[in-house]
Structure 1
């Protein structure tokens, strides 16, 4: 009977998987934008900008994800902002992911030898050229593994949307189990949750392999040199 729950509710699981993927992709995209902005500002030569960027980063890093999700969903209306379950999940994960990604970006930028940047400035190289031609090619190598780990956590954290009503994978599993328990009796949870676990495992494994491929691509120029 439990295995039939998977096939009978394949449509629901497919829609939930699409929603989870949608939440993850948007959260990862917005997190990347926030991370690059905050991480870059945190390495600025202007002390006030560095202080503000690091303050924002530390605040959102120190707030647990579940608290952030609840605050955005239940607290934002007090400030005139109304978010649905999906939107609230994306916003909260983006803020948390962006703050943690900012530290990764800052660390990658700081790993670039300072004398290279100073020498380029002394030669009159423009700031944008310094950033894209000197900093980015060298900073991206240490950033990739850590940022991939962050994206894996973001993928797993999409399940927090179930707590505020987003019908992603975890919520779909809860719906199927509750229906089965009500209409058929029994406790089919082990099979359904094992199926959800398998989906997350496959997605996480695919991300890990993709990351290793990227590491090899960006490490190739170094090996040739």
Structure 2
């Protein structure tokens, strides 16, 4: 371990890049998830079919291939992305495709009576979604979204293959300089685990904050929408 001591600041700088990738990728994944997930529930085929195709393509192909395509193939179409931008896009689009099914499944899992009562009150689809369905579905989504976030963190290591100087890329540099393969990769293994564990704790805290028994006094769902 003493061999890599002088390189710890370099690894910490790489960790900051990894955290930035995770934050930006998750922000994009959430936008993609709600956009594609809600579009897949639309009665309009012009929205439902493209959203379904997007989800199936990005879930059915390798994230690594998607990353290479965004970074190496897009320039042939006149679009040049920076390594960081290509990494964020690949992470956000791929994880967003998985999260879109979380959004769709969580909303569909709500009691059918919520939909029927909103229809009886002549609520528009947008009003029903905003005031009734989403406030109840989001707490259901949180555990799965937490898993997506941790999976996204681990997948950030792939962006080192397109020269993003993240934690894995810096570890490769240190290994090449010192030859301390076991120490270097053991160190970053612990670093990834610590960050994942902290994210899990944050997810648990957020779940407790928005648990149904805590938000019940705020009258979410149909009662809250009617009174609002």
Question: How high is the TM-score relative to the length of structure 1?
Answer: 0.90
**SS at 2:122's partner residue?**
coil
Q: Which deviations, in whole Å up to 9, do the C-alpha atoms of 1:72-113 show, x marking residues without a partner?
A: 111111111111221111111111011111111111111122
Counterpart in the other structure of 2:2: 3
Question: CA–CA distance in 1 between the matches of 2:215 and 2:38?
Answer: 28
Counterpart in the other structure of 2:92: 94
Structure 2 residue 160 is matched with structure 1 residue 168: no
1:51-90 correspondence runs (5 A): 51-90=49-88
Tell whether the 8 Å contact from 2:139 to 2:212 is kept in structure 1 after alignment: no
Tell whether the 8 Å contact from 2:24 to 2:88 is kept in structure 1 after alignment: yes
Counterpart in the other structure of 1:26: 24
Structure 2 residue 206 is matched with structure 1 residue 207: no
Question: CA–CA distance in 2 between the matches of 1:224 and 1:38?
Answer: 29
The 1:102/1:18 distance shift into structure 2, 3 A limit, reads: same
User: How far 1:32 sits from its partner (Å)?
Assistant: 0.4
Q: Which deviations, in whole Å up to 9, do the C-alpha atoms of 1:133-190 show, x marking residues without a partner?
A: 2111221122111111111110001100111111100110110110123xxxxxx111
1:82-161 correspondence runs (5 A): 82-161=80-159
Q: Among 154, 158, 181, which residue is 1:189 paired with?
A: 181
User: How well do the aligned residues superpose, as a CA RMSD in angstroms?
Assistant: 1.7
Question: CA–CA distance in 1 between the matches of 2:127 and 2:104?
Answer: 18
Question: CA–CA distance in 2 between the matches of 1:224 and 1:113?
Answer: 16
**SS at 2:10's partner residue?**
helix
Bigger shift: 45-54 or 165-174? 45-54
Question: CA–CA distance in 2 between the matches of 1:175 and 1:17?
Answer: 14
Bigger shift: 68-77 or 125-134? 125-134
User: How far 1:114 sits from its partner (Å)?
Assistant: 2.8
Tell whether the 8 Å contact from 1:141 to 1:219 is kept in structure 2 after alignment: yes
Runs of at least 5 residues in structure 1 that lack an aligned partner in the other structure: 182-187
Counterpart in the other structure of 1:218: 210
**SS at 1:9's partner residue?**
helix
Question: CA–CA distance in 1 between the matches of 2:46 and 2:72?
Answer: 32
User: How far 1:15 sits from its partner (Å)?
Assistant: 1.4
Question: CA–CA distance in 2 between the matches of 1:114 and 1:222?
Answer: 23
Runs of at least 5 residues in structure 2 that lack an aligned partner in the other structure: 218-228
Count of residue pairs brought into register by the alignment? 217
User: How far 1:194 sits from its partner (Å)?
Assistant: 0.9
